Amino acid sequence: MTVKRARDLAFSGIVLIAAAIWIFPLYWALTTSLRSENRIVSDAGVIIDELNFSAYLSVLSNSKLPMWYFNSVGTSLIITVIVLVTGMMCAYALSQLRFPGCKLLYLVVVASFMVPVPALYVAQFVLMSDLNLVNTWWGIILPQLIVPVVVIVYKQFFDAIPREMREAVLLDGGGEFTLLFKLYLPLNWGITAALAIITFISAWNNFFWPFLIATSENMMTIPVGITQVNDSFGVAYARMMALALLAAAPVIIGYLVFQKRVTEAVMISAGVKG
């Protein structure tokens, strides 16, 4: 066996071990959710030897999971659309237009990375309270619309487009919106798709802000709603795991379907922040 072959086998083994360590909690959750409560207490085996779907049926019928799904999907979609549209328009203005304070505004956008998001929660909560938006969709949505990485990524892309294309459209009578949505946007569908996926997942997984602003179960999102399982069921491990897996299923499926785009978005975000 050559040295290169041995090195490749060792690397493959390390990757397999790391993958097994990563996937084991999900496997344990699945095994637990497919057992009866009595089996969970009396038998701590890790082999799936029982297919008991009562925990899933109980969660779907005795909790407000459908409402939590609706809230999460609705707020995440609205956040994604608004963040992409406003971020794209802001980046276009910073990249292609010349106006007083342009460079200062861009420095403010870049400097916003230095401000930890939790540091703004108190001020945001007071503002939402003054606007009577506590326990509403817009109370959940508005503070999550500030995503500077989207502006920076779009600006970097717009800066790379030859200005001759812009001048040609302007000579033909096109306006700024024509340039943005009919020329620049079609050229960066890949970046837009990647940013849309990562923005949606981030909004879906956000826990702390929806936890603060949603004061009733009917307004809770999935990450907040699953914390109510103990209040509803007591200590019920199978139902807790079933609820956790149902809550994570859209993100897992989305990642498996759009894995390439998600990876691209993470690399873009990491490159900007680095």
The pLDDT tens digits for 6-15 are 787 888 889 8
Residues 115, 118, 122, 125, Cα dihedral to 10°: 110
pLDDT tens per residue across span 212-249? 999 888 899 988 888 776 644 556 778 888 888 888 88
pLDDT score for 246? 85
Q: How far apart are CA 196 and CA 154, in angstroms?
A: 12
Residues comprising the chain, all counted: 274
Q: Determine the straight-line distance between the first and last CA of the chain, rounded to whole angstroms.
A: 40
Tokens coding 145: 């619309």
Q: How far apart are CA 80 and CA 215, in angstroms?
A: 23
Residue in 177, 184, 182, 129 with CA at minimum distance from that of residue 158: 184
Q: Which residues make Cβ contacts (< 8 Å) with residue 42, sequence separation at least 6?
A: none
Q: How far apart are CA 117 and CA 108, in angstroms?
A: 15
Per-residue pLDDT for 271 more than 70? Answer: no
Q: Which residues make Cβ contacts (< 8 Å) with residue 165, sequence separation at least 6?
A: 183
Residue of 93 and 177 predicted with greater confidence: 93
Residue 146's SS3 state is: coil
pLDDT tens per residue across span 54-108? 888 888 887 788 889 899 999 999 999 999 999 999 988 888 888 888 888 888 8
Q: 35 in the Ramachandran plot: left (φ > 0), alpha (ψ -120 to 50) or beta?
A: beta
pLDDT score for 131? 92
Tokens coding 33: 């959710």
Q: Where are the domains of the chain?
A: 1-52, 63-273
Q: How far apart are CA 224 and CA 105, in angstroms?
A: 35
Residue of 122 and 39 predicted with greater confidence: 122
Tokens coding 159: 């800066």
pLDDT score for 194? 81
Q: How far apart are CA 198 and CA 113, in angstroms?
A: 17
Q: Out of 1.10.357.10, 1.20.120.160, 1.10.3720.10, 1.10.645.10, which CATH number does the structure's domain 63-273 have?
A: 1.10.3720.10
Neighbouring C-beta atoms of residue 127, cutoff 10 Å: 14
Burial of 268 (0-12, 13-18, 19+ CB in 10 A): buried
pLDDT score for 240? 81
pLDDT score for 63? 78
Global pTM value: 0.80
| Residue 181: φ, ψ to 5° | -90, -20
